[in-house]
Amino acid sequence: MFMGEYRHAMDEKGRLTIPAKFREELGERFVLTRGLDQCLFVYPMEEWKNLEGKLKGLPFTKADARAFSRFFFSGAVECELDKQGRVNIPATLLSFARIEKECVIIGVSNRVEIWSEAGWTAYLSEKQGSFDEIAEKLVDFDL
């Protein structure tokens, strides 16, 4: 399980250091793709295969299913960490997530998310006041 929030900066070659706590769980190879809310999603291979199976089950006759599959899979790239624990993020994904230098890397249960620092700050500011309301709608147990 991935959890926690870490701040790192991209180097001049577009490489980002993945927190040590996430490296073992991600494994030797993992998938990086466009996520929701203008961040990047990072999945261990096993989780990616589970998700791929679920998305394959969507009816291709539905326009929304086709659109989401195109969005999700066309941005996907298989990655490996270098010896220093860094991943090279393609320019198209950096552009999508508006990542220039400073990043926030968060653990979200079965995946890792990579945000631009500005994007994460804006997201938290926008949602902070509504977390109680969201929890009330979604969670059926005491936290």
List the domains of the chain with CATH numbers.
2-138 (3.40.1550.20)
Mean pLDDT of 87-110: 96
Q: Report pLDDT for 142.
A: 60
Give the model confidence (pLDDT) of 15-73 as tens digits.
999 999 999 999 999 999 999 999 999 999 999 999 999 999 999 899 999 999 999 99
Please state the φ and ψ torsions of residue 35, each to the nearest 5 degrees: -110, -170
Q: At residue 16, what is the residue type?
A: L
Cβ neighbours of residue 22 closer than 8 Å, sequence gap 6 or more: 2, 105, 107, 112
Strand spans (E) along the chain: 2-9, 15-17, 29-34, 40-44, 77-80, 86-88, 102-109, 111-116
